[in-house]
Amino acid sequence: MDVPGVVQRGARLFNRGRYLDAQVLWEDAWRTAPTEARAFLEALVQLAGGLQLRTRRGGMRGAEHLMSQALVTLEDYRPAAHGLDVDALLREFGAYVDWVRSTGRPHRFADALRIPRLRA
């Protein structure tokens, strides 16, 4: 399995706001991925799932929990893994999750401006 290729395809979807499509792609890959890549893919699934929940369904606590869990898992993959800049992801999404906690409710337009992109 070409894990970096799957990660990059999912990142393109993710960066276009297609969180559910990215989640499904990464989840399908997770099922057949080598053991050493499974936790990384699971974290990406959680990150995409959290954003899908937040941006499409207005979820707060569940979205925050999923994104926070993803960040904890991704700590083990610093500085980069499978073609993603994990340091940047942790820094930028950590700040985003902090902002989510402080807002108390979804803000459609503010969220759209604040959601970080995944970088290679």
Higher pLDDT, 56 or 96: 96
On whether the CB atoms of residues 67 and 29 are closer than 8 A, the answer is: no
Among left, alpha and beta (phi > 0; psi -120 to 50; other), residue 73 is: alpha
Q: Is the pLDDT of residue 60 over 70?
A: no
Domains of the chain and any CATH numbers = 3-114 (1.10.3450.10)
Tell me the pLDDT tens digit for each residue of 48-58: 999 887 766 65
Pairing verdict, β 80-81 and 84-85: antiparallel
